[in-house]
Amino acid sequence: MAPKDIQHIGEELAILWNDGHETFLRLEELRRRCPCAVCAGEGDIPGRVHKPASAPLTAASFQLVRIEPVGGYAIQPVWADGHQSGIYAFGYLRGLCRCEQCARPANDGSAGAP
């Protein structure tokens, strides 16, 4: 799976995948999900650790300057505040998709029916 086309539209990133799926990602969401060591938190702790970002995010943190392709497997956004160490693998990006189709659980889990 790979993006066929990526467009920066206003405050969103529109990604067209080669399977025809479309993902619209808000830039703020994209930045907050930055997978780099600084943003995601360092260390080898298994599981997610919620800790405050080391640098405060500003309006510029959510402004996209450009997107660099990385080796055919990821993209690297360059942000207006100078941050650009986040490498978003295609699979990770697709996982951020919030559309109805992706939000729906893949398996029919037995969620909370009493």
Residue 25 as a binder of Zn ion (CB under 5 A): the answer is no
Q: Which is nearer to Zn ion, 43 or 114 (CB)?
A: 43
Site for Zn ion in 48-107 (CB under 5 A): 86, 97, 99, 101-102
Residue closer to Zn ion (CB basis): 11 or 42: 42
39 interacts with Zn ion by CB under 5 A: yes
In this chain, which of 27, 34, 74, 75 binds Zn ion, going by CB under 5 A? 34
DSSP codes, 18-61:
TTS-EEEEEHHHHHHT--SHHHH--S--SS------SS---GGG
According to the 3-state scheme, what is the secondary structure of 49-87? CCCCCCCCCCHHHHCEEEEEEECCCEEEEEECCCCCCCC
Please give the residue ranges that form the binding site for Zn ion (CB under 5 A): 34, 36, 39, 86, 97, 99, 101-102
